[in-house]
Amino acid sequence: MNRRATVFLVGGLLAAELRAGPIHWVPVGPPGNPRVTAMAVGKADYVVVFPPRASLLLAGTVGAKVFRSADAGVTWSSTGPGLGGDPVALAVRQVFHLGVDTGSYDTTIFAGTAGGVYRLTPGAAAWTASNAGLTSLDVRALAVSGDGVVFGGSFGVVYAGTGGGLFASSDGGNTWVPKTTGLPSGSSALITALAADPSAPATLYAGTTVGLFKSTDAGETWSRLDPFPGFVFSVTSVAVDPLVPSRVYADGAKQPPCFPLCLPIAFLPEAVRSLDGVRPGPRRMVSASTSCVPSPRRPCCRRGSSRERRPAASSRAMTRA
């Protein structure tokens, strides 16, 4: 059975078979190829099934719609009406029924919009608002604790990043409470990205316009990660490697401390990742934006180059210690 990778680009969805040789991408978007604004993936409800079922692929689009596909993007169906705006974030809470193969997808889907959080429960034909306790309805990011899978009657924890900070729900989205201790406040309170560590349900990463933050106690307290000392790192996306959870990626732009007085050179696009085998922390993240490694034959990394240079082996060893 060939495995298929799906990538979300501004404007649509593309997929490619994972096999040896060149990779060829083909459009797999919903009918009419609408502009895709968010994506999420859920799993079929099973223990052992052969051949394995395809994951549930969800795509939010312009026009306040969310489509679903259970066959790797070959066919799509609408999840139903009721969204109050275009979804900019999607998250899935997956229920795992031990020892039962229902052949279904027992998922609760959450959508973040400019009008708040909306929820689609299993079997429902329409979305409903889920905003009790939110002080800001400008929802930019969503995440479910751990790998998004819960057992039995457990709800897990759902997180919503908004223009007014971070909120969490432990009752499946019925009510929300703020989780902002250690996060920026005031005009810098906007949460731009969220990612949960699939191996540690209490570990969460939050991107803001003034830095990347980490919590190891389910959002009760937060600490800043500082990949660029002396710069402010404005984060646009963050992700945890599901196979190597100690590896975290973040994308955004670094700003010199003089911002906004030093325009137009304020925003310098950057991508970073944590060092392999090391939990992200201060000085434990390196640039992932360059493929240039210093050597006599590669002058692009000579002293004074505008590119970030990878740390030497000795510095890597010291960081791991």
Max avg pLDDT among 90-99, 194-203, 239-248: 194-203
C-alpha distances in Å from residue 292, one per residue of 143, 250, 286, 288, 313:
34, 19, 13, 10, 15
User: What percent of the chain stands above pLDDT 70?
Assistant: 64
Element spanning 320, H or E: helix 313-320
In terms of pLDDT, which residue wins out, 38 or 283?
Answer: 38
Residue 55 is predicted with a pLDDT of 76
Residue 257 is predicted with a pLDDT of 65
> For residues 212 and 173, is the Cβ–Cβ distance under 8 A?
no
- Whether the bond into 282 is cis, omega within 30 of 0: no
At residue 283, what is the residue type?
Answer: R
Q: Which of 82, 113, 110 is nearest to 94 (CA)?
A: 110
- Count of CA atoms in the C-beta half-sphere (13 A) of 307: 15
User: What percent of the chain stands above pLDDT 90?
Assistant: 38
Mean pLDDT of 121-140: 94
Max avg pLDDT among 48-62, 74-88, 222-236: 74-88
The CA distance from 56 to 73, in Å, is 9
- For 274-307, the pLDDT digits (tens) are 655 445 655 456 565 533 333 333 333 333 333 3
pLDDT band, very low/low/confident/very high, at 218 (cuts 50, 70, 90): very high
The encoded tokens of residue 216 equal 């190891």
> For residues 43 and 56, is the Cβ–Cβ distance under 8 A?
yes
Bridge partner residues of 144 (DSSP):
158
> For residues 140 and 192, is the Cβ–Cβ distance under 8 A?
yes
At residue 78, what is the residue type?
Answer: S
* DSSP-based three-state secondary structure for 260: coil
State the residue for tokens 């996306």. 237
Domain 35-71+78-320 sits in CATH 2.120.10: yes
**Angle at CA of residue 20, ends 14 and 26, nearest 5°:** 15
* DSSP-based three-state secondary structure for 26: strand
Mean pLDDT of 38-53: 66
Mean pLDDT of 141-168: 83
The encoded tokens of residue 226 equal 């500082």
Q: Which of 61, 56, 54, 50 is nearest to 93 (CA)?
A: 56
The CA distance from 182 to 197, in Å, is 19
Bridge partner residues of 118 (DSSP):
111, 129
C-alpha distances in Å from residue 240, one per residue of 112, 246, 247:
20, 8, 6
